[in-house]
Structure 1
Amino acid sequence: MESILEVNHLSFAYGSQPILSDVSFSLKRGDFAAIIGVNGAGKSTLMKLLLAELSPQQGEIKLFGREISHFRDWPKIGYVPQNGAAASENFPATAEEIVRANLYSQTGFLRLGGKRQREQARRALESVNMLPYAKRMLSELSGGQQQRVMLARVLAASPRMMLLDEPTTGVDAQSVQSLYELLGRLNRETGLTIIMITHDIAGAMDTVSRVLCLEDGSLVELNHAQLLDEMKHRHKHPISPKKPDRTYSV
């Protein structure tokens, strides 16, 4: 199976404050991983490192076999930020125009392109069941619909891996479940590799294939049985033989 992401012995600190310590994991094509952890555990810092917004201080990150500092094929990576729709909600553009704007690598910055890009945008909207709303202004859509447009915006560029930062923030409960089902379908049917930061592991656990828990700067992968046990009893689990047991609360 093709290796999409390799993180090896990654460490990062802000000044004298360590955030990540000796973190290692890898993802292959078709993995759907949830990254969980309490606030301040380092989830957002890890996401910024994976997007090359920050540089590793120790260790390495490889994307599609290339060390991240030498990686240039960024259209392969799609990113949906937390509250991404909120930043564009009042922008005077339709759902289709918002999606087409992310095809700048083909059209040039601030250009919407032609027929080909329009078809790409419409296919992406159709894949998230939003084609009937293509001509609606983003501000006219619900929170769940806006998040689907943000997903379509990323999918239009045909990424191989998608990173999502708390994609259910500001989305009603019914739309949250629908969003998880959509992400699960995209993962299964297209082989899209997905990494999702979430606090809602109870809602997402039946959709994701892997759960990576960040805690006190360390990372441990939980299997399904361990995760259920954690959620029920909040047991301690060992991070490594050299470190004491730690407690994670979902």
Structure 2
Amino acid sequence: MHSSGEAVVEFENVTISYSRGYPVLSDVSLKIFEGESVFVLGPNGGGKTTMLRTVMGLLKPDKGVVRLFGKEVSRFRDWWRIGYVPQNVVSIFEKIPASVQELLSSGSVRGRCMKPVEALNLVGVEEPEKILRKRISDLSGGNLQKVMLALALINNPELLLLDEPTVYV
């Protein structure tokens, strides 16, 4: 349990609807505490990605409150505490001209992070020194997924959110 006893993630009576007014999530309440592993399973269109995007503050609930480490998401500022890998990493990063080294360095918080090569080793990248020099747009889907996981882990986050983590496995 979290040292203060508060939930790491909390949904309190959360409802989210898209344009048609049909709720994707309806009156969802849950608490996730430090040390817990939670897997959300369901059909396509069942609200799994919506739930993660709401935790990340990318979607605002129609009703209810979402908290991270005891703070409402809209007031949360310690984003280094969270590692996130979105579902569609290929479409997000396919046109970025940066190298893997530049991407991993840009996401690191001084004093908290591991070195880029350590993060790549942690996620099982073969020959991480070579991958560091490659452009993100030149990576295979599997290596891009590993690089994104390394980016999510580089700051030793307290909360790791993975959307469709086995897509390239």
Q: Which stretch of structure 1 is more off in the superposition, 136-145 or 57-66?
A: 136-145
Aligned length: 161
Counterpart amino acid of 1:142?
S
The residue aligned with 1:36 is: 41
RMSD of Structure 2 on Structure 1 (CA): 2.5
| CA distances 1:89-132 after superposition (whole Å, capped 9, x unpaired) | 453333222211223x65xxxxxxxxx89962222122213224
Question: Which residue identity lines up with residue 149 of structure 1 in the other structure?
Answer: V
Matched, 1:61 2:56: no
- The alignment-based identity, stated in percent, is 38
1:139-170, Cα deviation, whole Å (9 max, x unpaired): 4443222211111112113321121221333x
In the TM superposition, 1:3-82 aligns within 5 A as 3-15=7-19, 16-82=21-87
Equivalence map 1:183-198=2 (5 Å): none
Match of 1:127 in 2: 122
Asked which structure has the greater CA Rg, the reply is 1
Q: How high is the TM-score relative to the length of structure 2?
A: 0.80
State the partner residue of 1:101.
106
Of 137, 143, 146, 2:144 maps to 146
Higher strand fraction: Structure 1 or Structure 2? 1
| 1:192 matched residue in structure 2 | none
Matched AA of 2:146: R
Could you say if the C-alpha distance between residues 95 and 23 of structure 1 is closer, same or farther in structure 2, counting changes exceeding 3 Å?
A: same
TM-score, normalisation: structure 1: 0.56
The answer on whether the counterparts of 1:96 and 1:125 sit within 8 Å (CA) in structure 2 is no
User: Aligned partners of 1:56, 1:88: CA distance in 2, in Å?
Assistant: 27
Residue segments in structure 1 that go unaligned for 5+ positions in a row: 107-115, 177-250
Q: Distance in 2 between matches of 1:118 and 1:23?
A: 34
Listed one character per residue, the Cα deviations across residues 174-214 of structure 1 (whole Å, up to 9, x for unaligned) are xx2xxxxxxxxxxxxxxxxxxxxxxxxxxxxxxxxxxxxxx
Greater helix fraction, Structure 1 or Structure 2: 1
